């Protein structure tokens, strides 16, 4: 077999991934350091991994704070990581550390979803996997699921979704799906947190080539999953939650899209409460890259307050 040009690059989408002629996929920008499940000696937060679907290699990382009352019920957070649908995972140090910090501060149980990533698994695989993970979580409502932490301690009447960047896009779509189906009986999604959400505009831009490549079955500018504020934002009125918290960053190229989403949601006729918070002078997902800076801590406090509102 002639392998002389097997290292030839046939698709190149910096800073995300490139594909070689031999089929190899190289992820260019990613946190390759993974963190095993553990117990944090300082906070008592425990983590463990479990497989949701062997068929789709769908798994989750669960987080639980230190439990002092064995009968205690805690809010439930389902988190969907970012990374342009193609990089990162719940097991990277960025996301593990962020979720462990949030679980400790908010005193919640968290489920962090490892969906199949593009380009090996084009969209809508990430949407389908995330919905499957949420349905798996819902299977614990009657205390008869496979995970004891969810059976014993999750308050399914206080369920929240959250995500950053592409994960915020997925979280939005999951709340839309929850609002238009009956697939989550017994689970009440109170709110969703969208951090620096990734959405497309009505016209091509610098992000278009990679999204068109990983979502080849649709015209992305017209698809409400990618451009929810387009075409009048009709699906926004169907959000299956009562509250939405949106974060945007002043230097982020996606800033205006988050603002556009916020404005479209307010016009949509949806009956809930939406708030947008802008962090001046910061760029995309700065809170993950510099979690101890003052502005990141303000964001953390805002999310904690959002989850524990009225608790």
Marked catalytic residue, from 112, 165, 196, 268: 165
User: 64 and 103 in contact (C-beta within 8 Å)?
Assistant: yes
How would you class 58 by CB atoms within 10 Å of its CB: exposed for 0-12, middle for 13-18, buried for 19 or more? Answer: buried
Query: CA 303, 197, 242: angle at the middle one, nearest 5?
Result: 55
Spacing of C-alpha 268 from chain mean position = 23
CB 158 within 8 A of CB 172: no
Of 81, 153, 284, 287, the active-site residue reads 284
Do 190 and 241 touch, CB atoms closer than 8 A?
A: yes
Q: Where are the alpha helices (DSSP H) in 159-293?
A: 166-180, 208-214, 255-267, 286-289
> Residue 165 catalytic?
yes
Task: For strands 25-27 and 58-64, give the pairing.
Answer: unpaired
For the chain, give the longest Cα–Cα distance.
Answer: 66
CB 75 within 8 A of CB 161: no
Catalytic residue among 96, 129, 252, 268: 252
Residue 97 three-state SS: helix
3-state secondary structure of 277: strand
User: Residue 124's CB: how many other CB atoms inside 10 A?
Assistant: 18
DSSP state letter for 39: B
Q: Which helix (H) or strand (E) holds 128?
A: helix 125-138
Catalytic positions are 165, 252, 284
């Amino acid at each position: 077999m002639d392998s002389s040009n097997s290292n030839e690059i046939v698709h190149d989408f910096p800073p995300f991934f490139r594909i070689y002629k031999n089929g190899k996929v190289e992820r260019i920008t990613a946190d390759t350091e993974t963190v095993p499940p553990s117990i944090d000696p300082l906070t008592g937060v425990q983590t463990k991994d479990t497989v949701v679907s062997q068929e789709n290699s769908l798994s989750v990382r669960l987080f639980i704070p230190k439990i002092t009352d064995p009968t205690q019920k805690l809010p439930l957070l389902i988190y969907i990581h970012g990374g342009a649908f193609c990089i990162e995972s719940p097991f990277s140090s960025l996301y593990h550390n962020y979720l462990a910090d949030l679980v400790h501060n908010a005193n919640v149980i968290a489920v962090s979803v490892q969906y199949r990533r593009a380009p090996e698994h084009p969209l809508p695989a990430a949407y389908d996997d995330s919905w499957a993970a949420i349905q798996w979580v819902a299977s614990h409502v009657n205390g008869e699921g496979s995970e004891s932490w969810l059976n014993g301690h999750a308050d399914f009447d206080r369920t929240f979704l959250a995500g950053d960047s592409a994960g915020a896009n997925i979280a939005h779509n999951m709340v839309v799906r929850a609002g238009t189906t009956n697939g989550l009986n017994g689970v009440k999604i109170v709110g969703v947190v969208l951090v620096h959400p990734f959405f497309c505009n009505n016209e091509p831009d610098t992000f278009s080539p990679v999204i068109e490549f990983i979502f080849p079955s649709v015209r992305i500018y017209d698809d409400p999953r990618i451009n929810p504020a387009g075409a009048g934002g009709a699906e926004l009125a169907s959000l299956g939650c009562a509250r939405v918290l949106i974060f945007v960053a002043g230097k982020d190229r996606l800033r205006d899209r988050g603002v556009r989403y916020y404005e479209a949601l307010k016009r949509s006729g949806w009956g809930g409460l939406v708030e947008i918070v802008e962090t001046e002078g910061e760029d995309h997902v700065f809170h993950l890259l510099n979690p101890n800076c003052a502005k990141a801590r303000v964001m953390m406090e805002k999310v904690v307050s959002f989850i524990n509102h009225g608790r």
